[in-house]
Structure 1
Amino acid sequence: MRITVQRVLSDGDSTASVVSVDGERLCYGLEDEPRRMKVAGETRIPAGIYQVGVHTAGSLHERYSRNVFADIHRGMLHVLDVPGFGWILIHCGVTDEHTSGCLLVGDDVITTHGAMRLVDSPSAYRRLYERVIGAALAGVLSIEFVDDDLEAAAA
């Protein structure tokens, strides 16, 4: 099973994307901006294909286990083995201030330059999580990040 994150628009703070699972559009994504030199917690991960595992420690895991996702939560979706990056998760959030390099998901994305934000993140997260958690636990989930935003900017 594969999650595809098609990055479609970047500004100086954020990157908006379309998130699909096995070719079916499921939601939108928001990440930090691209940078030539990594700045901790302020840089999106490089384009590529990575495995997704399940992380069962930390404050987000504890919060999701006890609160709004307690009925489905079995661990955080964790993007593995990204060179130069660690603890890249898929989770809820609204703006790039909530990412620290992670992928946020939402039902819609507002693409106002300098103020991108997601709409209804918990609903999108629940839908994505329920769709992929079994594959992540089985070790057969990957995620591909595609930089269509950089190609559009160069054209």
Structure 2
Amino acid sequence: MTSGRFHERSKKYPEEHRGMLLINDIPNFKWVLIHIGNSAKDTKGYVLVGEELRLNNEGRVINSAKAYCRIYSKLAAAAGSDEGLIIKIRRLLI
């Protein structure tokens, strides 16, 4: 996905960034993106990635930008392949 405010802030993203990672085929959800953020305040239900999860009174993902840059090219390549991609998402309820 190459439109929207998250894509436009591409200075945070890896050099090979070609668009946001959009997750399809989630029942009852549309426009689910994988992106950078550290807490629920940074997302409207999008998937945040990080190197560590801290379970304090609000729950935080640590080193989100670093983790995103590390996984982006692998996920984008897999999503664009004939094999497709399956992602397991852990949900945190606080």
- TM band (smaller chain): 0.7 to 0.9
1:118 shift after superposition:
1.3
Give the share of equivalent positions with the same residue, in percent. Answer: 37
- Gap runs ≥5 in structure 2: none
- Flag the structure with higher strand content: 1
Q: What root-mean-square deviation, in Å, do the aligned CA atoms of Structure 1 and Structure 2 show?
A: 2.1
Deviations 1:39-81 (A, max 9, x none): xxxxxxxxxxxxxxxx1211111212xx122512011111102
Partner of 1:61 in structure 2?
7
Residue 70 of structure 2 aligns to which amino acid in structure 1?
R
Contact persistence 2:52–2:63 (CA under 8 A): yes
CA distance in structure 1 between the aligned counterparts of 2:47 and 2:8, rounded to whole angstroms: 18
**Distance between the aligned counterparts of 1:77 and 1:83, measured in 2?**
18
Task: Assess if the C-alpha contact under 8 Å between 2:14 and 2:72 holds in 1.
Answer: no
Counterpart of 1:37 in structure 2 is: none
The yes-or-no answer on 1:85 pairing with 2:29 is: yes
CA distance in 2, matches of 1:70, 1:62: 13
Higher relative contact order (CA 8 A, sep 6+): 1
Which residue pairs with 2:71 in the alignment?
128
Higher percent of residues as helix: 2
Query: TM-score when scaled to structure 1?
Result: 0.53
Equivalent AA in structure 1 for residue 4 of structure 2: G
Number of aligned residues: 92
Q: Distance in 2 between matches of 1:68 and 1:143?
A: 23
Aligned-partner SS, 1:60: helix
TM-score (norm 2): 0.83
Q: Does residue 118 of structure 1 match 2:64?
A: no
